[in-house]
A and B are shown apart, each in its own frame.
Chain A
């Protein structure tokens, strides 16, 4: 198959063409987006339903985090071709409701795909559905297609064919991420009585029952799915699905195969480096467009059959239903106050579309207890509003249950928000971030009665939170997690953030050793050695200037003291080995103590708290800080009595 000419596909969502929604899969509530696109909307305006829709089956875990905006771009491309498209979060992931940690995710998520198919039929009025699955999502799509005759086409992108091999891949990631050496249990050849263990990979859990089920699953051993047409898009860097595609063809499925670049850049990199795979999107769009006339013929036959059976007329390709107000209701945790949480998607602004999800206590009485405390969670890097490994979802629900209103939001250009005119997507340090944050604070005050506002951010989110407090926006608490930069100007590269060479002593000793071994550039070592004392000297001079009440530009210490004088409670949380600790010391010096900042240092954590133990500790300290009594304004000349508390 020859892909159509690659076009520049971007993810530029807008409230006219994208609709957030919740739907049910048995007792689970799932969050999703319905993408209608102009072509679909035009059909609806004429009272016509599309013949086929597309359900996107996401990859798992970190891959889904990285691929977030790419998946949105796939959805928009399919919708632009006239196919209403639903992308959604499996239960227990993203913005969907929780699931039992021991549940078989493979079985539940296959049911979730089927529920998404039904929901798309209901809302989009389509008779047939094409599943578009990525990696693990392609495996789920294949399983779902075997159970639902309305799934008549399937696109598998870099499909996971062998559950056993996929688990091995996850275990390598898990082992390589571990600070200690881990013994890898072999998967798939367990002795009788041995149990398969659960996995935590990059902050995402695979239950023991899921690993057991996956270890037995091999798509190449299954019979062909009962779909008419399949498109297999293999990864060109490591193609592995050609034989499977050929086998499907021999089994009578009309199968097209293409190997294209882009999978690594889409989902196997840091989210801020992630790139939308234009060639793959063009291939999907082209294939769907070629499929459309065939679907129309099938659809006409379907309509004729339906007309002959009036009772069935209302079921499938009827006019699209009016959307219900999307609300997610979560029950309270066992042993807690048992007050649940309500979540709602919100549009903070429409041009550009700035999106977020508000979590609130289900009962007003809980909110009254906290005196209208509200918190805003800001994107960490280019990760969407769910936060790294879902940290923000966990925090939002926990805090809402304790009476706080929490908004987890996407700045323009990130996550599910639109892109500001003239700006690129996936921009980690957008110059207009403060405009979005100002609108978010205004939204919480107007619509949720927020009186005390806390802004929380990890990494780049910490930078934006700091800038907002300095502006100053009306913020009462500032919680910065692993900040790695305190000043940023447009044109700087993300790579400029890699300050480890300068501030991390371990890196210096490593360079020194290799210098002696003749393995490293002497000038590079010299530059590093020169720059570090320069920074220390600058810090000492700034300290002295502050004591003499001389204001210097870009003086973080002075800025922190000014904020504290306005009554802003300042909280830092660092992973023990994160470079931000040393950067803070060099940038703000003794002012950190004088401003009364609360500093928490968490052992065993990586930069994004991807392991559950340190992540729980982070959630604990932030929760204590959120509900602590508000700070009193501190006079700028206050003596350094309020020492930083270190844990």
Chain B
């Protein structure tokens, strides 16, 4: 499964678990408007570490929290390159 598909799956699963209405996941969707809250993102990041084997927030470089869903996916895709 591609990184993007894995991420999308986690967004959808966490939204279901948290009983939240997830907005359609387009690249320009702002994460703040996605329907998920901060706790959901922490859960997604933890599960993605389990699924993908790394956490992009655990680097020696300062890292910015992504603004859009596209930024979020790119953050992970850049690590896999």
Contact = CB atoms under 8 A, between A and B. Distances in A.
A170 B46 CA distance: 11
A46 interface: no
Contacts of A202: 38-39
B37 A498 contact: no
A183 B43 CA distance: 20
Given A184-B57, A273-B19, A172 B65 contact: yes
Nearest to A170: B42
A169 B42 contact: yes
Contacts, number: 85
Contacts of B67: 181
B26 to A, nearest CB: 6
A495 B19 CA distance: 9
A238 B38 contact: no
Q: Counting chain B CB atoms within 10 Å of each CB, which of A175, A178, A189, A273 scores highest?
A: A175
Scoring B47, B57, B61 by chain A CB atoms within 10 A of each residue's CB, the highest score goes to: B57
B38 A176 contact: yes
Interface in A178-207: 178-179, 181-186, 189, 202
B26 A172 contact: no
B21 A498 contact: yes
A68 to B, nearest CB: 16
Contacts of A269: 17-19, 39
A182 B38 CA distance: 13
B12 interface: no
B62 interface: yes
Given A172-B45, A176-B31, A179-B32, A184 B17 contact: no
A22 B60 CA distance: 45
A519 B26 contact: yes
Interface string B17-39: 11101011010000111000111
A495 B23 CA distance: 16
Contacts of B43: 264, 268
A176 B19 contact: no
Given A169-B42, A273-B19, A498-B21, A177 B57 contact: no
B55 A168 contact: yes
B64 interface: yes
A628 to B, nearest CB: 35
A173 B41 contact: yes
B63 interface: yes
B65 A238 contact: no
Interface residues of B, number: 31
A400 B41 CA distance: 38
B17 A182 contact: no
A173 B39 contact: yes
A624 interface: no
Interface string A332-351: 00000000000000000000
A32 B55 CA distance: 38
Interface in A265-289: 265, 268-270, 273
B60 A174 contact: no
B33 A510 contact: yes
Contacts of A510: 23, 33
A169 B57 CA distance: 9
Interface in B49-81: 50, 55, 57-65, 67
A443 B21 CA distance: 42
A238 B46 contact: yes
Given A182-B65, A184-B64, A176 B42 contact: yes
Nearest to A201: B38
A505 to B, nearest CB: 13
B11 to A, nearest CB: 13
| Chain B CB within 10 A, most for which of A168, A273, A495 | A168
A62 B38 CA distance: 11
B3 to A, nearest CB: 18
B18 to A, nearest CB: 6
B65 A184 contact: yes
A514 interface: yes
B37 A182 contact: no
A149 B2 CA distance: 51
A520 interface: yes
Given A183-B62, A517-B26, A172 B33 contact: no
A169 B23 CA distance: 24
Nearest to A179: B32
A114 to B, nearest CB: 30
A172 B41 contact: yes
Contact of A174 (B26, B38, B46, B64): B38
Contacts of B19: 269-270, 273, 495
A238 B42 contact: no
Interface in A496-535: 498, 506, 510, 514, 517, 519-520
Contacts of B37: 176-177
Nearest to B43: A268
Contacts of B57: 168, 171-172, 184
Contacts of A519: 24, 26
A135 to B, nearest CB: 12
6 contacts: A172-B42, A172-B45, A202-B38, A264-B17, A264-B43, A269-B18
Given A173-B42, A182-B65, 10 more contacts: A168-B57, A176-B41, A181-B67, A183-B64, A184-B65, A186-B59, A238-B47, A269-B18, A270-B18, A273-B18
Interface of B: 17-19, 21, 23-24, 26, 31-33, 37-39, 41-43, 45-47, 50, 55, 57-65, 67
- Name the 5 nearest CB pairs between A and B, nearest first: A177-B38, A175-B65, A176-B38, A176-B41, A173-B42
